[in-house]
Structure formats: C-alpha cells, structure tokens
A and B are shown apart, each in its own frame.
Chain A
Amino acid sequence: MDPDKDNANPTIINPSDLPTRRRQSDNISSIKRRTDGGTGLFDGLIPAIARSSHAYDPFAAPLPVDSDASSPSSSDFGDDDVLEEIDEQEIYDLIAPISDPEHPLTLGSLAVVNLPDIHIVPPASTASRISTVRVLITPTITHCSLATVIGLGVRVRLEQALPPRFRIDVRIKEGTHSTADQVNKQLGDKERVAAALENGTLMGVIRKMLEGCDNVNE
C-alpha cells in the first residue's frame, strides 16, 4: 500500500453500471431506445412527411425549424412547454464526474456519491420557493482525511451549478466516517465554505477536482 494515500486500492465501479438517465426517444443520439424497439437507424431514410426528408420549403408557412444537423433542432428538446424538473439523477450527473483528490477516478466510480443518497426536499410551504438538496457522501474508507475536501468539492460544484432556489446540504453518510460530525459541521457552515473558496491553495485542489466536469467542446 502506498503510505501517502488513505486508500491506494479502492474498489471501482464500472462506468456502465453507474446510474444514467434513460435517454428519451426524442434525442438524436444514433443509438437510442424507442417505442418501436429500433435504434433509429433509418430515421434519415424514412420520410416522415411532416418533417420532410425533402429540402425544407422556405415558402411553406409556418417556417419549420432549421434541421441542419450542426445546430440541434428544437425537436431534440421536445416541447418547450413540458417542464423538466431538476431531479436526483440530474444532481448525480453534476457531481458524479468530480474526480477524487487522490485517484484519477470519479466520485461516481468510487461510489463516494450514490444516486440513492441524493434527496431533493420540496419547499416547506407554498409561501416559500426554496427547495433543499441533501447529498450524503460515502468516503472510500472511514478515516479518509480528505472527506472534508471531497464534501467541499461537492458543495462548491452544486452551488455553482444549481439555481439559487436550492439550499445545499452535504453530509457524510451515517457510520461511514470516524469524524463525520466535525466534517458535517464544517460543510454546513456557510461562512467557512465562503472563506474556503477564497483560499488559493484549497481552491487549487477543488478546481482540479472539478476540471473534468465541464469540458466545453468547440
């Protein structure tokens, strides 16, 4: 075992076993699940006369949406009036790709964050619009000294990625860490978190952890 790592040999979850959102039939990925049990292989060929495989007729009103592949057509998003609520899976997708500070692995694949340990609590009363996100993290081993950093990483990620109407509570999962209470108290302390974000070295670590999360492809 490598002395300078808390856990040099963690168990790793295979990517294809990580929870993923079941792709919807209205997205354009080449392989997708559809009611017809097909994969959409023929979509380019079968002319749904509505969105004709013909060149679109700019003179026929109403103007159909530009179906040039380079820009995703509205149909990829489904009906804009259909509200897609922020759900646990979406939260999971935000934090699972965060990389562990001591392994080149993601928190998802190390099972540090798990879908069942993410809960969204709706507003307490109709008067309030404030929902709460509760994330329980499971350190790879009970004495992991990096638990606080990991928790902070998760909290920072969510503060940056979720709309302000969400309050974010990141805690260590019951009985998975020796000093859980201290860690939880720190993670819960808004002032400490705010100050931590201004601490260059700490932010360096966090930034590295979050690097993998949003790669803007050109």
Chain B
Amino acid sequence: MSDVELYIFNYDKDKEEAAKAAKNTARRLVEKDVKLLSLIESIGQYLNSDEAAKRTKALSYLAEVLEALPPKTLTGQQRNLLCDFLVSRIADESETLPICARALLALDDLGPWETEKSVTMMTNILENTHPLSQYKLQSQRYPVLNLIDRLLAKYRKVLHELHDASQEFMSRFVSYFDAEKDPRNLMLVFSILLVPMTEWDIHSHAQELFDAVFNYFPITFRPPPNDPYGITAQDLKDRLRHCIAASADLAPYAFPALLDKLDSTSMNTKRDVLQALSSCVENYGPHTISLYSVTLWDALKFEVLQVQDDDLAQEALSGLTNIATQLSKGSTGALTVYLKPIAKEANEHLEDAPTKQSQAAAQILENISASSTASSNFIFGAVLPTLFALYGSADTTAKRRGLIEVLNGLIRANLRVYGEWRSIDTRESLVTDNSDQQTLNSLSTFSSQVLDVLLQGLHSTPIKEVSYRLVALDTLANLTKARNILNDEDVSRVISLLDDIVLNEESYGNDDVKTAAMNSLVSVAQQKPQLIIDKAFPTFMAKLPDSDRNDTVEYVGILEAFAQMSKEPKVFQTIMVRLRNKLYDAIKLQASPQFIQAVLAAMIFAVKQNPTALVGTSTECSYYEELVRPLIQMATSAISSSPLTDPGVVELIGKLSNAVIQQQNLEFQASTTGHLPYGLWGGTESELFPSFAPNASPQQVQLLLISTHLLAALRRDIEIRPEYQELLTNLKRVVQSSQTSSIVKQTAVQQISLVINKFVPRDKLSFVVDLTPSSLRESENITSANNDDFRIAFAATKGLLLRNAPVVTEMVQRLLEALSATSAGLTAARGFAMFLQPDELLTKENYCVISPLYRQKLFQLATSTITTQFPSASSAVKRNYLIALSGILRYLPYTVIEPQLSPLTPLLLQMLDLSGETDVKAAAIDILITVLVQQPEPLEEHASSVISRLLNATTADSNPPNVRSRALHCLALVPKKLKTEVVIPFRRQVVKRLTEALDDRKRAVRIEAVKCRSQWIELDEAGDDEE
C-alpha cells in the first residue's frame, strides 16, 4: 500500500500509523525518493473521489506530510505551486478550509510564498467560507484563524493594500469572525483585528470594528479548573483592552459605550471599564481626549468622591490623572478646559473639610497637579485663593488642618514636577510640557502667602492641637524643599521657628511635634546646610550650657538635636568642632560626669553617622590629633577629683577613640597609634603598663577600659606592645585579683578574648590552652574552679572559637564536662551565654577573625554532648545542661537550630519548667516562637504540653512580666500555626484560663493576653463546624 493508502486506511483506526505513513512520505521527499508532483498526483485521485471524507483525509495527509518536512526541502516554486493548489481547493470546496489552512500554515513554515498569493487566499477565504462560524468545531476554526493571523503578520502590506483598494473588504473581514465564542480562538481574533485597528485607516469602518470587539465586553470567562490551554480571563481582558484603545477613531463609540457600562453593579465590570478607559486615554492622543475630557471627569469623579471600593477609586484616580498627563502634551487650552470643573468641584468639597469627600478631592488635586508643571500651576491658581479664603474664615482647627492637608498635597505634587533644591532634576524629562521648560512655577507667586499662613498657624495654634501642627510642620518642610521657591531669609524664618519648637516649647503628649520639628530641621539641613550652620547652630549652642552645675538636664535634647543634624555630612564637620570645644570647656569646668557623658555620646553618634569623614592619610588624621589624643592624655593624667575618672566617661572616651582609629589605614595605625593601647603612657618596652603595675591605683587599672577599645580598633597586622604573652598573663592576674572591680574584670576578660582572637599567631595557640586555669585543665579538679577561673577559660575559648581554631573543640568539651559538677556546674552553665551573645568589640569592623561557621561549630559540640548526657544526668545537675543549652540557643538563627529540632524540642519544653531561671524560660519561649513561625509541624505532637506549659508561663506568681508577655505572644501563634484539629480540643480551656492573664498587673502583658485570647476565640467557628 502506498503511504496515501496507508494513511487514509488508518486515518480513523490508528492515528499513530497514519502519522507514520505521512512522516515516511516526508522522509522520502527529503531523500528525493519521491517527487512532489507524484505526491500531488497520488493525492489527486482521492480529491476527485465523491466521498467528502476521502477528500478531507487526502488533504489531511498532505498537511501532515508538509508538517513533517524540514525547512528548505521545498523550492520557492514548489511552495508557490502547493499554495495555488491549496488556495484553489478552498475555492472549490469550502468544507476543506480548515484542513487547507493547516496545510498552508505548514507550508508557510517551510518558507514564504509570493505575496499576491496571500491576497487571493484572503479573498478566497472571505468569498467562499464566510462566516467562519459555519465551521462548528473549535478545532476547525482554530487553524483558519491562525492562518489569517499569520497572513496579517507576514503579508500585512498587501492585505493593507487590499483594504485600501476595496470598500467592502473590511466589512466582510470584520464580520467573518462574528459569533466566535472559544477563548483560544478569541485570543487570535483580537490580535487579528488589532492590526487594522492600529495600522490602517479604518475611519469609515470604526464602528463595525469597535462593535466586533466590544461585543465581548466585559469578559466574564472563567477558565475550567485544570485548563490545558492556560488562557486566563486576564489574557482576554488585556487583548480586548488593547483593541478598544487601538485607535482614536474608536473614541466616538468607545467612550459612550464604556461610560454606559460604568453604571454596572458588578465591581469586576467597573474595574474592566476603568482600566479600558485608562488605556484609551493613553492611546487616543491629546486631541481626541480633549473632546471627552470633561465628560470623563463627570463620570469618573464619583468613583473617587464616593468610594465604594478602594482599588476602583485608585483606578479612577489614575484615569483622571492620565487625562491631565495627556492633555499636558497638547494645547494649554484643552488642559484648562479639563481642569476648570475639577478645581471648581474640589473647591466646593473643601468648604466642609475635613470629610471623606474633601480628602478625596484633595487626592484628586494632588495627583492631577503632579501630572505636569502646567497642571500644577493651573491648580494652584484655581484652588489656592479659595483655600486661603476658607482658611481665613475657618472656625475650627480641624477644618484648618483639613485645608492645610490639601495645601500640603499640592506642594508635594509641585515637588514632583519641579524638583527639590538638592535633587538633580530627573522629573522634568518625564513631564514634557511642549510649552517651554522654564514655565514659571506658580507656587512662587503664592509662596510668601503660604509661608505666612503656616508660620502664623504654628505660632498661634495651641500645642495640644497635635494633628494640625504636624501637618503644618510637614507642609513647611515640603515648602522649604521646593527648588527656587523660598529665598534664604524665608528659610531662615522657618529654621528659627523650628528651633523655637524644639528648644523652647513645653513638652506635650509624646512630643510628636517636637520630634517632627527636629526631623524637619534635619531635612532642611539636607536642602540648605549652610543656613542650618548659620542660623540653627548659634541658637542651639546658646542653649547648651558649658556645664550642668546648675543641674539642668535639658541639654540632652539639644545634644540629640546636634547628633541628628550631623546626618548631613556638610554640617558634620562644624558640629564636631562645636561639640569638641564644648567638651573641653566642660572638662575644664569640672562639669558632672553625666554632662560629659552626654556630650561624648552625641559626638560618638555623629561620628558613627559619618565614618568616611574620619579617614585621614597615612601620616595624619585631624580627629586623632585634635580629639582622640588629647582626650586620652587628659584621661590618663586625670586627678582623682576630675570627672574624667568616672568609669562611664572613660568608657565613652574609649568608644570615641575606637570609632576614629578604626577608620585609619595600616600605615597610620602602625606609625601613630600602634603603640597606643599600652604605649601612650610614654611607656617603653621595658616599662610596665600602669594598670599592670603591682601598686596600680584603681584609677590606673580602670584605664583598661580605654585600652580595650583602642586594642579593638587596631588592625591585625599591628605589632602590639607589650607582646601577647606578657599582656595575657597580666590580664589574667587582673581578673583573678580580688581588688579588681567587676566592670574592670569584664573589660579585662573582653581584652583576653580580643588579644587571643587578633594577636596570637596560629602556631602559638598552645599558649592559650596553658593560660586556662589548671582547675579547668584536668577535669578532676573542676570542683575547685571559681568564678574567675571560668571567666578566663570562657574568654580564652571565645577568642579561639570565633577564629575557629582547632584546639577550641577540646576546650569547649572541657567546659561541657564541667556541667556535670554539682556546684561549679551552674557557673559553667551560665557561662555558655557568653559565647554567642552580641558583642560590640569582637567584630569584623574591629578586624577580628570571625569564622563564618563558629556558631554551627559550638552548636554541634554543645547539642551532641548535652542531648546524649542529659537523659542520664542526675536530677541535681539536669538544670545545668538546660541553662547552658539555652545560653547557646537563644543567640542562634533558626536555620542553625532547625536540623536538630526534634531532639531539642523536649529539652525546650523542660526549660519552661525551670523555676527561677526566668531568662532561660524567656529564651525557650522565643525559640518556640521562631519554630512556630518557621516550621510548626514538629510541635504538633507536643501540642498538649506546649499549650499547658505556655499557660503556666502566663501566671503572675512565678513569672516576670517579660516571660508572661512572650508566653502569651507565643500562645497566640499556636492556633494560627498548628492544624485546627490539633488545637480545637484545647480551645475552651485556653480561652477560660486566659481570663486570668486579662487581669495581669502589667498593662503590656494584658495587651498580649487580649490578642492571644481573641486568636483562640476566633477558632470558635471552626470548632462548632466540627460538632
């Protein structure tokens, strides 16, 4: 049997076989084993058969053969020949259209045919197969639509000519697709019609075209659950929208039709309409829009002024804004026509501000003004006079506030189109007025009036009118931002007002106004640094006492103000100079430590804001020379009565120095500060560092506070003197001395960690091991270990742990062994909290070696030991294990804990049972919270014990407030995170038990209790459904 016969024979029985036959032919064609002609002939006989079925099958055979052919197998001539053949078939027998279309598509894949053939094809189709709907099956119409789509894509030009040539073509073309229903086909129909709509002159056919697509509006199609074609309603909506918005010629039909649909009660329809309108506005062009702008306003405004649904309001709003944006591209006249009624209506609503509608009106005004400089200018001109008039006659502060809010919106919009002082104006390019760029900003015509209103308002309105003053302040801040609006005198007036609020106004409520004023100052500082320096600083400095002997404390506020303003680099320098002088005066005048601490704190705050500003050269750094060095010298030479002997002050001097030196490069550190930590006392190698001197005074020892911070600031490559061995030995002695105050002990301990982490060479680590007290080196002596021994051991271990030195494993193990000791065990347990807690000294910024994995390492070491030893441990020491574990867990990110969760959960729950260990409880609860949030499933089996323990943790008798509050917070997550069926059984009990927490003595706890309880009550519904 020939392939054809085979194909036709199998066509109905066995598609596989049939396809094989076609492929076979295709192969032979490629191998030139058959001629195209003979193929056509072989088909020919069937085409003459009187069975329609046979004829179709034959063509389908041809189609499949063509589909199976690789490109370039057919010559152009052959393709044209086949094309003619198929086109004629369409003419002869319209039923065969679908299959022919399929064949033609396949043919076109192999290469183009002569363009005029497309014309015949199109004409043939329209003449013989109109309308398409006569083909009942979607699968029949689909290839045809594909073909036409293809023609419009590839042979657009000729078809365009066809259209230009004949009047009838378009009508026939459009009507051809009537009554198409299938979404897949519709996608094609829309894209087909989009071509003439956008590219051809369709003026005379606009209505037909529009109706053809608008019939389908609104799209209500809902795809079947598992729709294989993945066409969503949105796809259809988008294409349809493009069609509607395709050409300005459609406007006369589109706008009325759409606005009519806008009255629909269906939110979805409304949404579609509004989106369609927006696209139309964007595409139809200024001229067309100008014809409809007012109509559109009248229709759209209601969506905004009487909000039913917020996102509809947004759609409408952006629609209205688009109109303005478009019109701004056209004649000013058109824009004015559009904006007039808007301004008028808005003004009416302003009269009863503040209401929902006045706020809506304000929104409209702001958005539209932001559409272009022209809009902004017009709105200002049309609205501000009314606004001022209303403001003048307003009888309530609330009303004045409402009006200022509107004003603020307009100014914000103005900033967007005209830009701020400091911003390089990117905005202008977006908003291209074709009127010249330099249109006068009409805000400038009103600026002085605006300014007066605001300043006057802020002066005269009582300070309890918080909202009014906040809005006024914000508006003022925005006004000062506006480029080229306020001159320096004006800005100065603003500044002095702000100064006045920040410095002189009496405090009220939560001081939101003072805070806002402060922020405004900061923002002014960004816009006009120099003015701030000239105008604000003097007033602030004047307010700042040289010392606080007349025990005032308001200086803190002022210092904070300085610190805040220092965020602006331009003013940072000045601030530092002023504060430094203030500091030195204060020290001279023996001001109180608190005062000096505050000044230092302000400086540290400023410095941390501007780290780069501190960087000096390899040879000099002004902040070091003029600030750090003198301070340190004063501190070291301070006599006992001096405020510089206050540990707090010393500590802060250390921090400040650290912040500065940290930023300096290696050369500078090596040459200038390398010797600092222990050398600045003029000490030479030989001479002993005063703190370490056997007869050192407490003051001298206290200097360790500074040296710790200096040491921290040094880069690792610096050679410190004295060398680490001597240093560590001394530090160990300081720690173990009974004379040493606890704060100095702590700093010494930190220094041990620092030195070990940064300055002990890798090959000398054995020294560190030997440093640990003997009591902790042989496990049998552990019981004799005292606090200080542990201090040193943990400090040393921490230093190594962070740099992940190999030896650390055994050191940690030893500390873990200590847990089993009855007395010492508890101390050891507490120590584990030291390792991972946030540490401001051992940081990368301080050039410490921080191994990325040290957390995991400690976690593995600890958990493996603890989880194995805990079960067998005697009840007396069980708590030690739990405490140690919690000391580690509480600082670990969830990702680290996660893999070990299941073995740990029981331990976590037991932590909640530890009496007295409130921070262990707190930590355990926090971990439970993370687990609940991250991956609650493992907790489900423990639900009952989790819930009951948490409930116990909410009772006032045995738990501090923070535990109670966290427990409640955690308990609130339980019903949200665990499966309902798991928690339902506990619902009523929990809801009942929680009434106790509702009466907690602490408000903050009660608030959590309320939240928690309502979460559980919410379960109610679900619960009842179960019954």
Direct touching of A and B (C-beta under 8 Å): yes
Asked if residues A39 and B515 are in contact (CB atoms below 8 Å), the reply is yes
* A58 CB–B CB distance under 8 Å: yes
Q: Which residues of B contact A207 (CB under 8 A)?
A: 1018
Interface flags for A55-81 (1: CB within 8 Å of B; 0: not) read 111111001011010111110111010
CB distance from A181 to the nearest CB of B (A): 30
Within 8 A of B (CB), among A34-65: 34-39, 41-42, 45-49, 52-60, 63, 65
Asked if residues B973 and A218 are in contact (CB atoms below 8 Å), the reply is yes
* A196 CB–B CB distance under 8 Å: no
Asked if residues A49 and B743 are in contact (CB atoms below 8 Å), the reply is yes
Interface flags for B896-923 (1: CB within 8 Å of A; 0: not) read 0000000000000000000000110011
Asked if residues A49 and B1011 are in contact (CB atoms below 8 Å), the reply is no
Output the residue of B563, B791, B919 with the most chain A CB within 10 A.
B919
Q: Which residues of B contact A60 (CB under 8 A)?
A: 742
Asked if residues A216 and B1004 are in contact (CB atoms below 8 Å), the reply is no
Asked if residues A12 and B891 are in contact (CB atoms below 8 Å), the reply is no
CB distance from A32 to the nearest CB of B (A): 7
Q: Which residues of A contact B331 (CB under 8 A)?
A: none
* Complex: A45 Cα to B507 Cα, angstroms: 24
User: Which of A12, A49, A58, A78 contacts B354, CB < 8 Å?
Assistant: A12
CB distance from B248 to the nearest CB of A (A): 35
Asked if residues A76 and B1014 are in contact (CB atoms below 8 Å), the reply is no
Q: Which residues of B contact A39 (CB under 8 A)?
A: 511, 515, 557, 560
Asked if residues A163 and B887 are in contact (CB atoms below 8 Å), the reply is no
* B746 CB–A CB distance under 8 Å: yes
Q: Which residue of A lies closest to B553 (CB)?
A: A36
* A192 CB–B CB distance under 8 Å: no
Asked if residues B401 and A14 are in contact (CB atoms below 8 Å), the reply is yes
CB distance from A15 to the nearest CB of B (A): 7
* Complex: A11 Cα to B401 Cα, angstroms: 13
Q: Which residues of B contact A203 (CB under 8 A)?
A: 1021
User: Which of B354, B564, B831 contacts A59, CB < 8 Å?
Assistant: B831
Q: Which residue of A lies closest to B608 (CB)?
A: A45
* A213 CB–B CB distance under 8 Å: yes
User: Could you say which interface size class chain B belongs to?
Assistant: 35 or more
> Given contacts A16-B467, A160-B1013, are A74 and B961 in contact (CB under 8 A)?
yes
Asked if residues B604 and A45 are in contact (CB atoms below 8 Å), the reply is yes
Q: Which residues of A contact B647 (CB under 8 A)?
A: 47, 49
Asked if residues A11 and B354 are in contact (CB atoms below 8 Å), the reply is yes
Q: Which residues of A contact B605 (CB under 8 A)?
A: 41-42, 45
CB distance from A77 to the nearest CB of B (A): 4
* A143 CB–B CB distance under 8 Å: no
* Complex: A2 Cα to B309 Cα, angstroms: 13
Asked if residues A2 and B746 are in contact (CB atoms below 8 Å), the reply is no
Q: Which residues of A contact B1014 (CB under 8 A)?
A: 160-161, 210, 213-214
* B664 CB–A CB distance under 8 Å: no
* B1002 CB–A CB distance under 8 Å: yes
Asked if residues A9 and B553 are in contact (CB atoms below 8 Å), the reply is no
Asked if residues B510 and A33 are in contact (CB atoms below 8 Å), the reply is yes
Q: Which residues of A contact B354 (CB under 8 A)?
A: 11-12, 14
* A10 CB–B CB distance under 8 Å: yes
User: Which of A46, A70, A94, A213 contacts B601, CB < 8 Å?
Assistant: A46
Q: Which residues of A contact B560 (CB under 8 A)?
A: 38-39, 41-42
CB distance from B818 to the nearest CB of A (A): 13
* Complex: A2 Cα to B995 Cα, angstroms: 42
* Complex: A16 Cα to B398 Cα, angstroms: 12
Within 8 A of A (CB), among B732-764: 742-743, 745-747, 749-750
Q: Which residue of B lies closest to A217 (CB)?
A: B969
* B490 CB–A CB distance under 8 Å: no
How many residues from A make CB contacts under 8 Å with B?
Answer: 75
Q: Which residue of A lies closest to B788 (CB)?
A: A59
Asked if residues A8 and B890 are in contact (CB atoms below 8 Å), the reply is no
Q: Which residues of B contact A53 (CB under 8 A)?
A: 651, 840
Asked if residues A42 and B742 are in contact (CB atoms below 8 Å), the reply is no
Asked if residues B1001 and A32 are in contact (CB atoms below 8 Å), the reply is no
Q: Which residues of B contact A65 (CB under 8 A)?
A: 918-919, 960, 962
Q: Which residues of B contact A215 (CB under 8 A)?
A: 1011
Asked if residues A71 and B923 are in contact (CB atoms below 8 Å), the reply is yes
* B1006 CB–A CB distance under 8 Å: yes
Q: Which residues of B contact A161 (CB under 8 A)?
A: 998, 1010, 1013-1014
Q: Which residues of B contact A214 (CB under 8 A)?
A: 1010-1011, 1014-1015
Q: Which residue of B lies closest to A23 (CB)?
A: B510
Q: Which residues of A contact B749 (CB under 8 A)?
A: 57
Asked if residues B310 and A104 are in contact (CB atoms below 8 Å), the reply is yes
* Complex: A10 Cα to B926 Cα, angstroms: 44
* Complex: A166 Cα to B421 Cα, angstroms: 58
Output the residue of B512, B515, B962, B1018 with the most chain A CB within 10 A.
B962
* B329 CB–A CB distance under 8 Å: no
* A162 CB–B CB distance under 8 Å: yes
* B270 CB–A CB distance under 8 Å: no
Interface flags for A5-21 (1: CB within 8 Å of B; 0: not) read 00011111111110010
Asked if residues A42 and B601 are in contact (CB atoms below 8 Å), the reply is yes
* Complex: A27 Cα to B827 Cα, angstroms: 31
Asked if residues A14 and B834 are in contact (CB atoms below 8 Å), the reply is no
Asked if residues B466 and A59 are in contact (CB atoms below 8 Å), the reply is no
CB distance from B343 to the nearest CB of A (A): 20
Asked if residues A66 and B890 are in contact (CB atoms below 8 Å), the reply is yes
* A31 CB–B CB distance under 8 Å: yes
User: Which of A20, A35, A36 contacts B509, CB < 8 Å?
Assistant: A20
Q: Which residue of A lies closest to B354 (CB)?
A: A12
Q: Spot the interface stretch: B112-120, B355-363, B375-383, B712-720.
A: B355-363
* B966 CB–A CB distance under 8 Å: yes
> Given contacts A45-B655, A59-B791, A71-B962, are A22 and B602 in contact (CB under 8 A)?
no
Q: Which residues of B contact A2 (CB under 8 A)?
A: 306, 308
Interface flags for B813-851 (1: CB within 8 Å of A; 0: not) read 000000000000001001101100111100000000000
Asked if residues B648 and A41 are in contact (CB atoms below 8 Å), the reply is no
Q: Which residues of B contact A16 (CB under 8 A)?
A: 466-467, 470, 512
CB distance from B351 to the nearest CB of A (A): 13
* B554 CB–A CB distance under 8 Å: yes
Asked if residues A54 and B998 are in contact (CB atoms below 8 Å), the reply is no
Q: Which residues of A contact B1006 (CB under 8 A)?
A: 86, 90
* B369 CB–A CB distance under 8 Å: no
* A185 CB–B CB distance under 8 Å: no
* A127 CB–B CB distance under 8 Å: no
User: Which of B564, B891, B998 contacts A68, CB < 8 Å?
Assistant: B891
Within 8 A of A (CB), among B979-1027: 995-996, 998-999, 1001-1006, 1010-1015, 1017-1018, 1021
Within 8 A of B (CB), among A163-218: 163-165, 203, 207, 210, 213-216, 218
Asked if residues A216 and B1015 are in contact (CB atoms below 8 Å), the reply is yes
CB distance from B129 to the nearest CB of A (A): 52
CB distance from A70 to the nearest CB of B (A): 6
> Given contacts A16-B467, A59-B791, A72-B966, are A45 and B652 in contact (CB under 8 A)?
yes
Q: Show the binding face of B for A, using Cβ within 8 Å.
A: 306, 308, 310, 354-357, 359, 398, 401, 465-467, 470-471, 507, 509-512, 515, 553-554, 556-557, 559-560, 563-564, 597-598, 601-602, 604-605, 647-648, 651-652, 655, 742-743, 745-747, 749-750, 787-788, 790-791, 827, 830-831, 833-834, 837-840, 887, 890-891, 918-919, 922-923, 925-926, 929, 933, 956, 960-962, 965-966, 969, 972-973, 976, 995-996, 998-999, 1001-1006, 1010-1015, 1017-1018, 1021
The 8 A-B pairs with the shortest beta carbon distances in the complex, nearest first, are: A38-B556, A14-B467, A77-B961, A163-B999, A42-B601, A66-B919, A58-B830, A214-B1011
Name 30 interchain pairs, CB-CB below 8 A, sorted by A. A2-B308, A8-B306, A10-B356, A12-B355, A13-B398, A31-B511, A31-B515, A41-B563, A42-B605, A45-B605, A46-B601, A47-B648, A49-B648, A59-B827, A68-B891, A71-B890, A71-B962, A74-B960, A74-B961, A74-B962, A78-B1002, A86-B1006, A90-B1006, A161-B1013, A163-B999, A164-B995, A214-B1014, A216-B972, A216-B976, A218-B973
Q: Supply 8 further A-B pairs (C-beta < 8 A) apart from A56-B837, A74-B961.
A: A12-B354, A31-B515, A42-B556, A42-B559, A53-B840, A54-B746, A57-B742, A71-B923
